């Protein structure tokens, strides 16, 4: 846990839902859906013998090309449940053979390349943060919602059984997609970033929130504009609009996405939610034990005997 809170640069209460929240996101999704999602999967030679991997692409926000890795169990029968997966801050889509857990469990697994991340890139928390229309995460959320559309078009996937999952930044994206995408089976968010910004700025000792704290310390006159922008993507706002059952977890010693922020999102979650806190855990939020719990949750939600 962190020590004494930092100054409350955005106040102490969760950000209110903007009056035009639904219209804002309906417009963003409508602009994206003017373009055919056009999923394209090109086989990748990975030397794996039980998992087929594809270099996957589709049309995301404003029609831009979004990439990812699609992983399918090689020995499959019938249409598969699917998980759409967003990674943590700066990770991008990683390598074709990273994180084989979900496809090994029998699911189609689409890990989305968060725009501009991966490689030498870190993150973009401050990009366009003074204007909701130009904010980086506006289009990132739309990309991930379009990833759900894209995976539902695949012949190998049962479009009625799709879940959104993510860790850290990906957890915040998962909560966001849970408010934007229709008929998801589940939303799994581990140590979600982009959640309860006022509290995060008071308690986070490491990670991206410190970038924003520094920015607001240097530019206090921009606090109102920043708060307005973040309110559209904050995990608490997303939780207020959740329709799919949620599985949310955190670590009680997390100083990057403090547990207080996750609790606020859980309290706001508008659909049934299960919440697990891991004593002594940091940002890994229970690690393998938490992943095992997620696998059990998905097995239940996908109605697999």
Q: What is the CA radius of gyration of the chain?
A: 18
Taken as a whole, the chain contains a residue count of 305
Residue whose token pair is 């939303």: 187
Catalytic residue (choose from 143, 234, 250, 254): 254
Residue with tokens 């706001």: 268
C-beta of residue 163 within 8 angstroms of C-beta of residue 186: yes
Q: How far apart are CA 257 and CA 267, in angstroms?
A: 16
- Helix (H) or strand (E) holding 58, with range, is strand 51-59
Cα–Cα nearest to 42, from 27, 32, 31, 52: 52
187 phi-psi bin (left φ>0, alpha ψ -120 to 50, beta other): beta
How far is residue 174's CA from residue 133's CA, in Å, rounded to a whole number? 20
Residue 158: both structure tokens together: 């049962």
Active-site choice (109, 139, 143, 168): 168
254 tagged catalytic: yes
Q: Do 129 and 229 form a contact (C-beta atoms < 8 A)? A: yes
Task: Clarify whether 35 is annotated catalytic.
Answer: no
Residue 168 annotated among the catalytic residues of the structure: yes
Catalytic site positions: 168, 254, 283
């Amino acid at each position: 846990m962190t020590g004494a809170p930092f100054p409350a640069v955005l106040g102490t209460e969760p950000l209110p839902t903007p009056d035009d929240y639904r219209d804002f996101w309906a417009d963003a999704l409508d602009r994206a859906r003017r373009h055919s999602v056009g999923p394209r999967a090109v086989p990748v030679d990975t030397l794996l013998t039980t998992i087929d991997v594809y270099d996957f692409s589709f049309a995301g926000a404003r029609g831009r090309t979004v990439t990812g890795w699609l992983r399918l169990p090689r020995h499959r029968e019938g249409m598969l449940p699917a998980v759409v997966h967003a990674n943590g801050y700066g990770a991008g889509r990683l390598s074709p053979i990273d994180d084989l857990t979900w496809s090994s469990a029998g699911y189609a697994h689409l890990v989305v390349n968060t725009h501009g991340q991966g490689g030498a890139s870190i993150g973009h928390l401050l990009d366009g943060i003074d204007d909701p229309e130009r904010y980086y995460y506006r289009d990132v959320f739309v990309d991930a919602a379009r990833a759900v559309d894209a995976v539902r078009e695949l012949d190998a996937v049962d479009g009625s059984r799709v879940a959104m999952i993510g860790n850290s930044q990906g957890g915040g994206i998962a909560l966001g997609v849970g408010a934007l995408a229709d008929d998801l089976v589940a939303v799994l968010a581990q140590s979600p970033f982009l959640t309860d910004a006022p509290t995060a700025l008071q308690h986070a000792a490491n990670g991206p929130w410190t970038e924003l704290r520094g920015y607001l310390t240097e530019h206090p006159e921009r606090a109102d504009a920043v708060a307005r922008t973040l309110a559209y993507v904050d995990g608490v706002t997303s939780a207020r609009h959740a329709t799919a059952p949620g599985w949310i977890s955190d670590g009680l010693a997390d100083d990057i996405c403090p547990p207080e922020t996750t609790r606020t999102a859980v309290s706001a979650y508008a659909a049934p939610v299960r919440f697990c806190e891991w004593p002594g855990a940091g940002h890994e939020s229970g690690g393998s034990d938490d992943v095992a719990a997620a696998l059990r949750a998905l097995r239940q939600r996908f109605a697999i005997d």
